[in-house]
């Protein structure tokens, strides 16, 4: 617990209107969107809302002197407990550092504070003819700072990559309060180590991001959404791989298994042909109608070879929205099937999709648990979701064992623990399995070099 005198010292940095200290307020900063229990709550001692890099720097300087843990966060949409203050201390909530600082239409960049919502960046750029592609499902309620800290992905990663591919430079407050600038607006830059990429995905354990320069690209002129239903999940996976290999790279290729599709059907009040075992929602983009027709035509042929039952091209804006809303509503629809839903986030080489699906099903059978499988088939990133009732005796133990097996299965086929959610708290016990002793020792040594007292988001990753 922090001393009253110390709390006062911190409070003076941001002023009394920008701190939260009441128990109920602290409680609301004790959780994120992961599947961790809320009780007992891991509350911070103090929540601070800084409004400038200078304030963040002064906070870190003081925290470093007093050896107080600091957890930076945005809107708490994380899926692995990354922003949960497990050791108490300070929460730096950066949601009010939410200014778009510069839009540079010449160099195709935008410079933002960490608290800007991802969707706001997308819309701001889109109105000016440019495209910020990363689209985590949380884009309406997640901040860019969190996206960068977790290297968030999203459906469009197949063609356009993840958040990290769009971060050109950062301003970061380090553990001792010094302010680091990395990268810049240069497209090519090999001056010193790539610190920008080191901070991307470091889950708040190496510094507090206070500004980011993001890369933009020209907005594609046309889009097309296609829904394909298959008679097997394996066929659906294989069709996506084949399409990509043929040179047609969809913007997105979202996979849903039968349970997922049934959940959506139930939620949306329509019926589903029982022969349908899997579905893919493809999105394509291009500069001309011809290009879209070539892409959809080619993929239609490939899908037919792999057992497609229906190939539906959205012909209107409404149909497009309808198809995507199925996918966007999927997580909620699946969650509604059972009292608890434990959704994982494994990532495997794309050609290992059929094998991992087989192994996931075997795990579900072994533990007698219902499992929905959906995710980003275009890049091998799946979200196997256990649909359970944790109030049943023995259920939690079964779930824990099954989750462990899911991770081991991902590693066994050459994959990893997380495609886009990070490690946080929920996967840290598996980190050595994934990275090996040398890998963990290496990231630990970097952590120690940049944060010798271990005050930045302690208890995460390793």
Residues 370-389 that bind a copy of itself (CB under 8 A): 376, 379-381
Position among 127, 193, 269, 391 found at the interface with a copy of itself (CB under 8 A): 193
CB 288 within 8 A of CB 277: no
| CB 248, min distance to a copy of itself, A | 8
Cα distance between residue 263 and residue 257, in whole Å? 10
DSSP 140-187: TS-BHHHHHHHT---TTHHHH--GGGGEEEEEEE-TTS-EEEEE-S-S
Residue 416 found at the interface with a copy of itself (CB under 8 A) = yes
Site residues for a copy of itself, 44-103, by CB under 8 A, read none
Torsion of CA 143, 144, 150, 153, to 10 degrees: 100
Position among 67, 99, 221, 366 found at the interface with a copy of itself (CB under 8 A): 221
Q: Residues for the chain: how many in total?
A: 462
Position among 20, 21, 41, 249 found at the interface with a copy of itself (CB under 8 A): 249
Position among 44, 88, 164, 235 found at the interface with a copy of itself (CB under 8 A): 164
Residue 188 found at the interface with a copy of itself (CB under 8 A) = yes
Cα distance between residue 411 and residue 409, in whole Å? 5
Residue 181 found at the interface with a copy of itself (CB under 8 A) = yes
Residue 299 found at the interface with a copy of itself (CB under 8 A) = no
CB atoms within 10 A of CB 108: 18
CB 278 within 8 A of CB 256: yes
Residue 201 found at the interface with a copy of itself (CB under 8 A) = yes
CB atoms within 10 A of CB 435: 18
| CB 217, min distance to a copy of itself, A | 8
| CB 191, min distance to a copy of itself, A | 5
Position among 320, 443, 453, 454 found at the interface with a copy of itself (CB under 8 A): 443
Q: Choose between 126 and 441: whose C-beta lies nearer to a copy of itself.
A: 441
Q: Choose between 8 and 287: whose C-beta lies nearer to a copy of itself.
A: 287
Q: Which stretch binds a copy of itself (CB under 8 A): 2-10, 61-69, 260-268, 289-297?
A: 289-297
Torsion of CA 315, 319, 324, 329, to 10 degrees: -170
Identify each DSSP E strand in 12-166 by its residue range: 19-20, 46-48, 70-73, 90-93, 100-104, 109-112, 130-131
| Angle separating helix axes 233-245 and 353-366, nearest 10 degrees | 160
Position among 179, 265, 336, 412 found at the interface with a copy of itself (CB under 8 A): 179
Q: How far is CA 212 from the centre of its chain?
A: 18
Q: Choose between 131 and 267: whose C-beta lies nearer to a copy of itself.
A: 131
Site residues for a copy of itself, 138-157, by CB under 8 A, read 150-151, 153, 157
Tokens of 303: 């899908």
Residue 445 found at the interface with a copy of itself (CB under 8 A) = yes
Helices (H), 269-338: 289-305, 317-335
Q: Choose between 283 and 379: whose C-beta lies nearer to a copy of itself.
A: 379
Q: Give how many residues touch a copy of itself by CB under 8 A.
A: 91
Position among 187, 315, 362, 365 found at the interface with a copy of itself (CB under 8 A): 187
CB 373 within 8 A of CB 385: yes
Position among 65, 101, 186, 362 found at the interface with a copy of itself (CB under 8 A): 186
Residue 288 found at the interface with a copy of itself (CB under 8 A) = yes
Residue 191 found at the interface with a copy of itself (CB under 8 A) = yes
Residue 400 found at the interface with a copy of itself (CB under 8 A) = no
Position among 3, 52, 101, 105 found at the interface with a copy of itself (CB under 8 A): 105
Residue 247 found at the interface with a copy of itself (CB under 8 A) = yes
Q: Which stretch binds a copy of itself (CB under 8 A): 225-233, 274-282, 356-364, 421-429?
A: 421-429
Sequence-distant contacts of 365-370: CB under 8 A, at least 24 apart: 366/402, 366/405, 367/398, 367/399, 367/401, 367/402, 367/405, 368/398, 369/398, 369/399, 369/402, 370/259, 370/337, 370/338
Q: Which stretch binds a copy of itself (CB under 8 A): 38-46, 258-266, 310-318, 440-448?
A: 440-448
Question: For residue 249, what is the enclosing H or E element?
Answer: none
């Amino acid at each position: 617990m922090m001393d009253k005198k110390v709390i006062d010292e911190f409070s003076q940095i941001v002023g009394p209107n920008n701190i939260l200290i009441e128990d109920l307020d602290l409680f609301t900063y004790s959780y994120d969107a992961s599947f961790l229990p809320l009780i007992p709550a891991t509350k911070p001692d103090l929540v601070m809302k800084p409004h400038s890099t200078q304030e963040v720097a002064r906070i870190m300087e003081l925290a470093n002197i007093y050896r107080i843990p600091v957890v930076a966060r945005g809107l708490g949409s994380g899926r692995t407990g990354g922003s949960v203050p497990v050791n108490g201390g300070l929460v730096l909530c950066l949601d009010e550092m939410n200014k778009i600082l510069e839009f540079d239409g010449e160099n195709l960049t935008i410079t933002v504070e960490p608290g800007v919502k991802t969707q706001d960046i997308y819309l701001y750029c889109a109105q000016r003819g440019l495209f910020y592609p990363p689209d985590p499902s949380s884009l309406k309620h997640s901040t860019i700072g969190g996206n960068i800290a977790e290297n968030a992905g999203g459906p469009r990663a197949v063609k356009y990559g993840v958040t990290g591919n769009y971060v050109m430079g950062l301003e970061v407050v380090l553990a001792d309060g010094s302010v680091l600038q990395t990268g810049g607006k240069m497209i090519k830059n090999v001056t010193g180590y790539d610190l920008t990429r080191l901070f991307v995905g470091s889950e708040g354990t190496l510094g507090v991001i206070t500004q980011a320069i993001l890369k933009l690209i020209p907005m594609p002129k046309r889009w097309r959404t296609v829904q394909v239903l298959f008679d097997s999940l394996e066929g659906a996976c294989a069709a996506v791989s084949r399409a990509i290999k043929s040179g047609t790279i969809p913007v997105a290729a979202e996979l849903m298994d039968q349970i997922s599709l049934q959940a959506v059907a139930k939620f949306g009040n329509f019926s589903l042909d029982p022969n349908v075992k899997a579905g893919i929602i493809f999105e394509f983009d291009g500069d001309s109608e011809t290009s879209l027709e070539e892409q959809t035509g080619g993929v239609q042929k490939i899908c037919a070879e792999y057992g497609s039952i229906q190939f539906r091209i959205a012909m209107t804006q409404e149909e497009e929205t309808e198809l995507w809303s199925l996918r966007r509503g999927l997580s909620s629809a699946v969650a509604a099937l059972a009292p608890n839903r434990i959704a994982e986030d494994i990532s495997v080489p794309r050609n290992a999709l059929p094998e991992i699906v087989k192994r996931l099903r075997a795990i579900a059978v072994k533990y007698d648990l219902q499992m929905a499988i959906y995710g980003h088939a275009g890049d091998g990133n799946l979200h196997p979701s256990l649909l359970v009732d944790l109030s049943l005796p023995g259920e939690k133990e079964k779930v824990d064992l099954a989750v462990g097996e899911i991770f081991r299965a991902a590693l066994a086929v050459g994959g990893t623990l997380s495609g886009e959610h990070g490690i946080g708290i929920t996967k840290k016990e598996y980190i050595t399995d994934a990275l090996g002793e040398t890998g963990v020792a290496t990231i630990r040594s970097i952590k120690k070099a940049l944060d010798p007292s271990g005050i930045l988001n302690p208890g995460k990753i390793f």
